[in-house]
Amino acid sequence: MFRKVMALLLAAAATFAQPAAANPDGSVDTGWGGVEFGRVRVAFNTGANNYDYPIATRVLGDGRLVVVGMASVTTTQRQIAVAVRRPDGSADTSVAPGGRYTIPVTGVLTPGHPAAIAADGSFYVIGLAPSQQQLRIWHHALDGTQLAAPLDVGPAGSTAPDSALLDSAGRLLVGGHARPAGSGADSANDGFVVRLAGGAVDPAFGGFRSVPFDPGRRDDVFAMTQVGENYALCGRVGDLADSTGLGFGIALVSRSGSLLASFNGNGMYVDQLALNGSAAESACNSIAAVRSGSATRLVITGRAYVPAQPARAFLLAVGLDGQLIAGTPRMIDFGQPTTSTGGFPQLLAAGRETEPDRLYLMSSGYYDAGTARMLAVARVDSLGNYDTGWGDGATGTRITMSAPAIGGSPRDLTGLHLSLGQGRLHVGAAISLDAGDSDFALIRLSGDHLFADGFD
């Protein structure tokens, strides 16, 4: 009996002596990235102020994480920058020494320009031709090999890309804004979307398609997602330099490029949202499609500006008829109601067919007493309700880049994109250092029971 009691006591003592087990759903996966505890920083440092900025991420079928972005050479010249990490977070040296490389380009590439990564790791980066009058599209394989000569597309005039999407057929959609030739007025800009197939503008889509959410103001197609055979677009409306004048529009576009009148008569324009009992100027940053019951909804997130209150992420849902879903819009504070959480919010639809109405919502803001910008990631439904069992708190997971192996105090983190793969949620972010220096910041969150796939 004594031996049994002692064995039980020793087992209990050993249990309490072990470190607490990580939450299997949503906390930082500290086993990823080796000594960097779930957070990996990638620096290219090719010149100027060493300004490196990730633009797109994707997890490949073999578990590798591919990140495509830009690296500065001078204050006006940038290169394409690519980083590849193995499933354990270490650098994939089979692709390039250090698991990273740059590609010199002729043209204009900025952090605001989009990129898209295919399932095989090949990628498109969309910038501007040297004249800045047309889009320039670079297409490369995962190892950096050029797959096609740079392609210039677009009408004569100032055309700027803001979003990119590879659809289920592998066709590239690019959205943004275009200014008519000879026009210097910001209000003359119209949103556009164009589809490419076989290395050229797809005639089956009708060329460049204008998307004028508000004819009297500047329009952008800032985010896109596929909905069946159609595409949902979310656009900013107004002067991006004046947050108090921002609104946004939503539209559905058919596979042939025409606006679908079934969606609220060719689209909807939202000038203000009512949040916390106040009128809020708002901007759209991200759009996703999610099933709720037997119906599909479009969920939009962005930043809301309420007078005398911190900027806040919001969530809004509409049906495919263009009608607002009751219960939205919702203001999202990640459990931090007195601080800003409105830094470029992003959505990722993530539910399986058998477990719909699940999304991941990420934003950044000033969360701690030292005004360090942190990331917050939560799992929510299409009404903005938190999944309180996901993350390291009831309102998700908050992340800093302050692990000892990285060094220094917490730095500013700006979340940019989310990707799912191998039962893990991956975050692509920029970490701001000193004197304009920034690096890729890659973070993996631990397993998600919705995506248990034998990886564990």
Query: How many domains are there within the chain?
Result: 1
- CA-to-CA distance for 312 and 367, rounded, in angstroms? 12
Q: What is the pLDDT of residue 138?
A: 97
Does residue 175 fall inside a structural domain?
Answer: no
H-run or E-run covering 76:
none
The answer for residues whose C-beta is within 8 angstroms of residue 435's C-beta and 6 or more apart is: 49
C-beta of residue 156 within 8 angstroms of C-beta of residue 132: no
Tell me the CB-side half-sphere exposure of residue 80, using CA atoms within 13 A.
30
Question: By the 8 A CB rule, do 97 and 68 touch?
Answer: no
Is 385 contained in some domain?
A: yes
* Positions of E strands within 254-358: 268-270, 272-275, 278-292, 295-305, 312-319, 330-332, 343-349
- For position 217, what pLDDT does the model report? 78
In a domain, 388, yes or no: yes
Q: pTM to 2 decimals?
A: 0.89
Tokens 């009708």 -> residue? 206
Domain that holds residue 302: 273-399
Q: Which residues of the chain have pLDDT under 50?
A: 1-23, 182, 403-405, 451-456
Residue 99 φ/ψ, nearest 5 degrees: 70, 20
DSSP conformation letters of 346-370 = EEEE--BTTB-S-EEEEEEEE-STT
Residue type, 330: R
**Is the backbone of residue 205 left (phi > 0), alpha (psi -120 to 50) or beta?**
alpha
Q: What is the pLDDT of residues 298-327, one digit of tens each?
A: 999 999 988 888 888 999 999 999 999 999
Q: What does the alpha-carbon distance between residue 270 and residue 128 come to, in Å, rounded to a whole number?
A: 30
Position 145 in a domain: no
The whole-number pLDDT of residue 155 equals 76
358 lies in some domain? yes
In-domain check, residue 330: yes
Rounded distance, CA 344 to CA 312, Å? 10
Q: Which residues pair with 108 in a beta bridge?
A: 128
The pLDDT value recorded for residue 281 is 86
Any domain includes 360: yes
The verdict on residue 96 lying in a domain is no
